[in-house]
Amino acid sequence: MQPVKPMRAPASHSLILAGFLFPAVTHGVVLMQLETFDSSTGWGVGNPHPSPPSIQADVGPDGNGDFALRMSASAGQGAGSRLAIINTSDWAGDYLTAGIDTLTMDLRNQSFLSSDMRVAVNGPGGWFVTDSQSLSAFSTWTPVSFDLSPGALISAGGSDASSTLSDVGEIRILHSSTPSFRGGTGQRTVLVDNIQAVPEPKTLMLTTFAALALLRRKRTVARGGRF
């Protein structure tokens, strides 16, 4: 039996609501951005790597027809022994201006070893990482949230979290038992799906109510109604 997937607003609705309140940008991460790995991905690893991240069909939280990204690390200390994936394109950008406070995603550990998953970001202020989210060995799909607010991030050599968040050049999803931007070693495989950039819950609620009010106003005006 497939695990129950957490309820989410349809991506189209999220993007419509966000579009009313946040200006469009021509590049970089945007509020409510969602990655479901239905096609090619900008996530990679350093070279050389014997097992780079790959898109897997029919393994996501919804089962058949749901894709996910497979990330893995080999045993030992050589190339490919650290569990981490890197993005320098779609998920780079100005997180502060975009209003992004949190990254949510679904994770599944397919390893004999438990995994302490984190998000790491690098920019002008240096490297910072989130608190870890632990996955037990051979876990089911698990929804997790990573707090990217400046006050919640942990320095991994960086000096100014706000400066980094204003111009993220590289973001990583990784396993590490300590606050490090380098993936921890150990033979592991983790599946990733449904990465989304969201604001803090209070901001999201206000955004949704304001957007719905604006939609209602537009429909009323279009019908010739008045307030």
The structural domains of the chain, ordered by start, are: 37-215 (2.60.120.260)
Residue 167 token pair: 């111009």
What's the chain's length in residues?
A: 227
What integer is the mean pLDDT of 167-171? 98
Determine the pLDDT at residue 206: 55
Query: Could you give the CA distance from residue 141 to residue 117 in angstroms, rounded to a whole number?
Result: 14
User: 89-102: per-residue pLDDT in tens?
Assistant: 999 999 999 999 99
Q: Is 5 exposed, middle or buried (0-12, 13-18, 19+ CB in 10 A)?
A: middle
Q: Please, which pLDDT band fits residue 30 given cuts at 50, 70 and 90?
A: very high
What integer is the mean pLDDT of 185-194? 98
Phi and psi at residue 27, to the nearest 5°: -160, 160
Does the pLDDT of residue 15 top 50, yes or no?
no
pTM for the full model?
Answer: 0.80
CA distances from 188 to 32, 59, 75, 112, 118 (A): 29, 17, 8, 7, 15
Q: Is 64 exposed, middle or buried (0-12, 13-18, 19+ CB in 10 A)?
A: exposed
- The DSSP H or E segment spanning 103 is strand 102-109
User: 99-139: per-residue pLDDT in tens?
Assistant: 999 999 999 999 999 999 999 999 999 999 999 999 999 99
Residue 67 token pair: 């894709």
